[in-house]
Amino acid sequence: MFKWLRNIFLKLGGKTELPTQKHIEKSVVVDPLLDAKIKDILAQKDRITNTGTSWYTVHITNPDSPRTIAVFTGDEIRTDSLVEIKAKRVAAEKERIKKAEQNARYKLAEAKVHIQTESVDAAETALSLAYSYIKIVKNQGLLDDYRQLRRDLASLREKLRLREIERLEAERKAREEQERKRREEEEERRRQFLLEQKRLEEQKEKERKRYEAELLSKEKREQKERERLAALDSEEKEEASAIKQLLASKGIIYLYHFTPRVNLQSIRNHGGLYSWKYCEKHNLTIPSPGGDMQSRALDQLHGLEDYVRLSFCDDHPMAYRLRNNDLVLLKIKIDVAWLKGTQYSDINAAAMDHHHGPGLRDLQRVDFQAVKRHYVSKSDEDFGPHQAEVLVKTHIPSKYIVNLDNPIEMDFD
């Protein structure tokens, strides 16, 4: 068909226009079948278009085999055109093969770098592209290189697989080691906890025993102290009979002790009156303790810090000095006067020139006329003797306090 068309174009003298029916009739005689085809082509010439490369496209409609025929224009058709086209095709194919070889070598080199850097996916991609180029080149050397790199990649995959297995195994061992350490630490904490519990229990038991021992010791001390106080409260002097007679002959029925009203509840709670030294030693809290630092220093100087001081008079001058303290007067049974530990002072026992002692002769120094007077002024010669005292050792039990629940209000008007 192309040969026939070429003859037509050549006989037309290289003109670029399409042949007409007239041209065809003058140039060549065709058989009926070919003539029918030509007529059909001419009938559809309006469908022929000129391409950008000087080609004409002839669309031949045939129900049995529809197809399109590309036709060269007359200017491009030469007798040697097929040879040139073939040469160009050969050159183009060589160039394509050359580029494919270059690309194959480049991708193989790239794959090798990826294998060296252990980039499996990148190496796989590069090798796949390289193989697509090698199929075009059909170079055995390149194919051998490709196969070697495939083996290297397979080795790399195995190496990485083994490495991953080693990593997973190392992680498993690390987890097991961590778990082992955790269990050991937990066991150690439990052991320490049990040891601490045991230590605390032993300490508690030790404290309990110590506390019981202290309680027992305290009870023993308190019992001993109670026995001591009971002895003080009950044992009489050898001269008790003579002392009773002397006091009775002088009309002394009660002794007296003044104190702030606020101290009454403490006296009831503690079961009586105590010396300030005893209160201090046994931690007995007194809301308003008597005496100041100077008087206590004088008591210690004379050895009288463990005595409760009582007066024969009910208007002791010292009470007047403390009249703003809401004082009350307690009446004490005379029986304490002949207790074994009791002493007697001819004047205020805080005075430097006083005389005190435990015997009848010491009691006889007391000026009973002076103690019976009331409101003796400081200038009076009886002022000192009026303050004569009875000093009861350590404690005066509540049983000796006549009016503890109904003390006398002291009137200083």
pTM comes to 0.52
In terms of residues, how long is the chain?
413
End-to-end CA distance of the chain: 164
Listed in sequence order, the residues at least 6 apart from 66 whose beta carbon sits closer than 8 Å to its beta carbon are 60
* Whole-number pLDDT of residue 15: 46
261-298 confidence digits (pLDDT tens): 999 999 999 999 999 999 999 888 889 887 788 889 99
2-58 confidence digits (pLDDT tens): 454 555 445 444 444 444 555 444 444 445 666 666 666 666 655 555 444 444 444
Domain residue extents for the chain: 2-77, 82-234, 240-409
Comparing C-alpha atoms, which of 57, 41, 45, 54 is closest to residue 14?
54
Comparing C-alpha atoms, which of 348, 392, 352, 388 is closest to residue 370?
388
* Whole-number pLDDT of residue 80: 52
Comparing C-alpha atoms, which of 101, 163, 152 is closest to residue 123?
152
